[in-house]
Amino acid sequence: MILKVTLKEHAYNCIKQKILNCEYQPGMFLSEDLLKNEMNMSRTPIRDAISRLEQENLVRILPKKGILVSGISIREIQSIYEARLLLEPYAVLHYGNRIPEQRYLEFIRLFAGSEQHTSENNDGEKTVKGTKNSADKGTDKDADNSTDKGTDKGSDKKNRADITEHKRLYEADSLFHTMFVEASENIYLISMYDQIASQNRRLRILSGGGINDRLIRTMEEHGKIIENCLAQDWESASEQMREHLLHSRKASFDVVLKDYDLNL
């Protein structure tokens, strides 16, 4: 019995992570045979996992067609933020006082360091462009090729650093928002928010992780929330959370509508 439970949980976690990380893209059809071969296990734990994921609205079982990875529509994005706007400001207002001051201070340090990194990257991009333009005027083709190779290597290194920093920041962002809901110690609120967070993670990946300017504003908005929490001004902190979510919703629509073909 223990082995069967373990296999079911393993199948559930593996499939869910592939959906959340968009390895299984929205709108993709899966089959039990495909999943059985990928997971190297029998149909029973696969079926159990799919049943649980359907309850979480991550997949849909279509008779005679297969298992459809749920898409993210304009309506879905609106629903995600409608739920977040109802839940998160409420959690800040009623449960923010349960979070230790030290925890808030940890997030201040974390977001401040990330903001500096992101700002430096923006400045660095401008400097590289300016340097390249002036160098082009007084160098021959060989020098240009050498410069381009060096620039390519530098760009690759910078891109890898940016991806790592963005990933770290988004993980911290998720922890920050989840912190308020978990402080409620209400299993129903926490369960509901877990489902919202799962869809929000997919939305974030599909939108390409956002842009530096929005990241900077996000960290500034987090800072305002924390400042009010430290001052124990919970109404202002709650209102700042609401404003932050409204800005995030607009940014999500702007990026996704531009770069990704979504259905209504």
Residues 48, 94, single domain; the answer is no
Residues 195, 245, single domain; the answer is yes
User: Model pTM?
Assistant: 0.69
Confidence of residue 262 (pLDDT cuts 50, 70, 90): low
**What is residue 195's predicted lDDT score, i.e. its pLDDT?**
87
Residues 122, 22, single domain; the answer is no
Residues 30, 144, single domain; the answer is no
Confidence of residue 134 (pLDDT cuts 50, 70, 90): very low
Please state the rounded mean pLDDT for residues 136-145: 50
132 against 236, higher pLDDT: 236
Asked whether residue 53 is assigned to any structural domain, the reply reads: yes
| Domain interval for residue 102 | 74-259
**pLDDT tens sequence across 54-103:** 998 899 999 888 999 988 888 888 999 999 999 999 999 999 999 999 99
| Domain CATH code at residue 17 | 1.10.10.10
CB 48 within 8 A of CB 8: yes
Q: Which of 69, 87, 106 is the last residue of a domain?
A: 69
Total structural domains in the chain?
2
* pLDDT of 104 over the 70 cut: yes
Asked whether residue 264 is assigned to any structural domain, the reply reads: no
| Domain CATH code at residue 204 | 1.20.120.530
Q: Which of 69, 98, 119 is the last residue of a domain?
A: 69
Residues 46, 123, single domain; the answer is no
* pLDDT of 33 over the 50 cut: yes
**What is residue 133's predicted lDDT score, i.e. its pLDDT?**
44
Asked whether residue 189 is assigned to any structural domain, the reply reads: yes
Q: Which of 69, 94, 127 is the last residue of a domain?
A: 69
**pLDDT tens sequence across 174-189:** 899 999 999 999 999 9
Residues 254, 234, single domain; the answer is yes
Residues 42, 143, single domain; the answer is no
* pLDDT of 30 over the 60 cut: yes
